[in-house]
Amino acid sequence: MPSRPGRSTDRSTSPSRGRAGVDVYLFPAVVGGGLGDIEEVLAAGRRLAAAGFPLFLYRAPGRALPRDVDGPWDWPAHRRVDRLFPSAAAALTVSPAFGVSSAPSRPERFGRGGPWETEAADVEAAYGSRRTLHVSLEEFARTLPSLAEAHERFREGGVRSRAIPQRVEEARAKRELQAFRAAFERFRAFDRPNVLHVFATFGPNPRFGREFPAAVQTGPLWSGRPHSRGTTGGDRSRREWVWYASPSSAERLAPAVVKALASERPPVRLYVRSPRPWSVGALGPSLTVVTDPVPAVAWRRRFRRAEVRIVTGSRTLLEAIDRGGPFLYFNGILGAGARTRRHRPEKIRSFLGSGPGRLLPPDVRRDLADFARGRRVEPVARRAARRAAGWARFRVARGRFGFRPPFDDAGALLVAVGRALGRPDSDAAEIVRRVRAGSNP
């Protein structure tokens, strides 16, 4: 979620000496279609900064930052540098999907390096590969083995459900599954011994872990922002819902949501934050669509006091869970009529299958699943607004989601990895090997 810069930083060629034995370099970038990849790197930075690690944003001279990085974000305290002057013996870099954003170029098809390839190589050259550990934050809750990935590819591509098994078998016969597995390992840089691939999710997938042993599955990476949990701002006379409406198809649901809220008393305002202009502005004064950047403090205040939060992707979903109060989830739909299908449903599906998700009342679980599909939008929104049945008991706990510490919290694992790397004579590859094997760093 973009917002205006929090704490300003000055460009420097002499980073100050930090108390920790590791210098941390943040390499944020957009890897998928959303901006959550940037926020995830910053969330990791907040956790590491809170543990005492100094943060740096290093960009080589003459190189502009990747798109959207120098925009309105809630940055943790850091120093911007265009020269490397190591103040510690070891370095930890954090990037989204290292193999896509930070890996070096290769003389082959699709071998173009990532937007941070120069900086990642510079850091490793300055500190040495033995004392440089690259953290790769992979897509949240996307822990599908090859067979399930093929099924999902056909489903989202519009193949009818009854035809998918045959299409999957055809793909297996053509060795497409093997080709996918090899490409996934290659383009995620699983062969790099000093890269730690963190797959945060709501629950471990043993089949995925067996197929890709270099993938380290963990609990969610929380925002790293201190706050008290709560459901709403408590002022029922000024009721407001907030909707982080990143998918373009969210506009298709808006009329039904507005209609559901129109008859509520006291009235409910719907505040929509979208990265693109909407064409539904004539739905009435109760709807506000904001497409410009919103200051971080103002957005957090509005998100915190909202009666219900409609969220998308992974970052706003995790923030809604962290708040603990009522939310709805919509990550986009494709197609129309009988061929309508969800876009990337694994996040809400994984949550509903997790321990905290299963503790929700059955009617709320059904409403969450249907709303995510773009079904029953008006009645679900009305039930949420009126706290009907199970909605009156909507409570969600962060939980451990089936992982043992420190793997239950991706941020806690990164702090543990950083501290292990800061020990005298530590070896980055050995730390990665231990973590991949499921041991403490």
pLDDT at residue number 141: 95
Sheet containing 11-12: order of strands: 11-12, 79-81, 55-58, 22-26, 90-96, 132-137, 195-200, 215-218
CATH fold, domain 236-393, is: Rossmann fold (3.40.50)
Residues 156 and 162: their CA atoms lie apart, in Å, by 14
pLDDT at residue number 401: 84
Cβ within 8 Å of residue 228, ≥6 positions away:
none
Helices (DSSP H) in 221-269: which residue ranges? 250-262
Enumerate the domain spans of the chain.
Answer: 3-138+188-222+405-436, 236-393
Helices (DSSP H) in 104-145: which residue ranges? 117-127
pLDDT at residue number 237: 66
Residues 216 and 198: their CA atoms lie apart, in Å, by 5
User: Is the whole model's pTM more than 0.95, yes or no?
Assistant: no
Torsion, Cα of 165, 145, 345, 331 (10° steps): -130
CB count, 10 Å around CB of 178? Answer: 12
Mean pLDDT, each 10-residue run in order, the chain (441 residues):
38 41 96 86 97 97 93 89 95 97 88 93 97 97 95 93 94 93 94 97 96 97 75 66 94 94 91 87 79 85 95 95 95 88 93 93 97 97 96 87 93 98 96 97 94
Q: Are 321 and 360 in contact (CB under 8 A)?
A: no
Cβ within 8 Å of residue 150, ≥6 positions away:
168, 171, 172, 176, 177, 180
Identify the helix (H) or strand (E) that includes residue 329. Answer: strand 327-329
CB count, 10 Å around CB of 155? Answer: 16
Q: Are 396 and 426 in contact (CB under 8 A)?
A: no
Q: Are 300 and 314 in contact (CB under 8 A)?
A: no
Burial zone of 169 (CB within 10 Å; 0-12 exposed, 13-18 middle, 19+ buried): exposed
Q: At which residue do the structure tokens 């004064």 appear?
A: 285
pLDDT at residue number 127: 97
Beta strands in 78-118 (DSSP E): 79-81, 90-96
Cβ within 8 Å of residue 263, ≥6 positions away:
none
Taking CA atoms, 15 is separated from 55, 85, 111, 119, in Å, by 9, 7, 33, 16
Per the structure block, which two tokens stand in for 303? Answer: 């998100």
Q: Are 220 and 238 in contact (CB under 8 A)?
A: no
